[in-house]
Homo-oligomer: A and B are copies of this chain.
Amino acid sequence: MMSSSGNTIVPLKTCPAGQGDGTEQRQRGRQKVHDEATLKARVVETAFSTFQKHSYNGTTMALVAKNAGISKRTLYELFPSKIELFAELAIRHRANLLDVPAARHAATLEDALKAVFKVDQSDEKHLQQAAEMRLFYVEAVANEELGVLLRRHCGSELHDVVTAWVEEEVAKGRIVTQSSRDTAKYLLDVLIAARLFRPKTPDVITGLSDIRTYLNHTIQLILNGLLPR
C-alpha cells in the first residue's frame, strides 16, 4: 500500500544542512535515501498536527504540503493519497507503541514488560503516544474507511505481534496462561486503555499516579496478580 518509489526529492529551503556537501560523489546516493526518509518523517509529523487541528476530512493534501513547506507535487511523490499518508502515520504509531525486540533480551519478565510497554521513555514520547491514540480514536469513529484501516494496522497486526511474544515467554516458562491470544488482548487492552482512557484534565478521575508510575504499578499487578503471594 505504501509508496516505495525512489522519486527524486526536491531540496527544501528549511531542510537542515546535510552531511554531504557534494564533494563526495560516492555518498550522494545514500544521502538522497537518507534525505527522503527524513523528509517523510517530517511530513508525517506535520500531517499528524494538521489532522489533529482540522480532522481527517477537513485536511487537504494542499494544506499538508503548505504546512510542511513543500510543493504539492513533492508531497504526492512521497504519498500518492491522503489515506496513504494517514496509513503511514498509523504504521509508525504501531511501530512506536511496543518494543518487542528489546523485550527479547530482557533478563526478567518484569524487565521485558517494561521494555514492551516502553515505560521508561521520555514524558514527551508518552504524551505523543496518547495524542496519536486520541486522534485515531476520534477518526476511527468519524470515518468508516479509517476505522477499517486502523483496526487492521493497530488492531489485528498488533495483536499478532504480542501473541507471538507471549508464546515465546510461555516457551521460556516465564508466563503461565490458559490462552496466548487472550493474554495478548489483555496486555494490549491494559496498555492502550492506560493511555487512551487517561483523563486530559485532572478533575475527571482524581488521584491517579502519573503515567510512568501508573504503568509501573500496573506491571506489578500484571506480573504478580492481586492475590498475596
Contact = CB atoms under 8 A, between A and B. Distances in A.
Contacts of A156: 204-206
B178 A217 contact: yes
Interface string A103-146: 00000010000000000000000000000000001100110000
B176 A218 contact: no
Nearest to A214: B182
A132 to B, nearest CB: 15
Nearest to A227: B223
Q: Which of A138, A152, A222 counts the most chain B CB atoms within 10 A?
A: A222
A28 B138 CA distance: 50
A229 interface: yes
A82 interface: no
Contacts of A226: 109, 169, 174-177, 183, 222-223
Interface residues of A, number: 51
B192 A197 contact: yes
A91 interface: no
Contacts of A189: 189-190, 193-194, 197
A225 interface: yes
A159 B204 CA distance: 10
A125 B226 CA distance: 27
A207 B223 contact: no
A206 B185 CA distance: 11
Q: Which of A169, A214, A218, A227 counts the most chain B CB atoms within 10 A?
A: A227
Contacts of A22: none
B155 A205 contact: yes
Interface string A188-206: 0110111001010000111
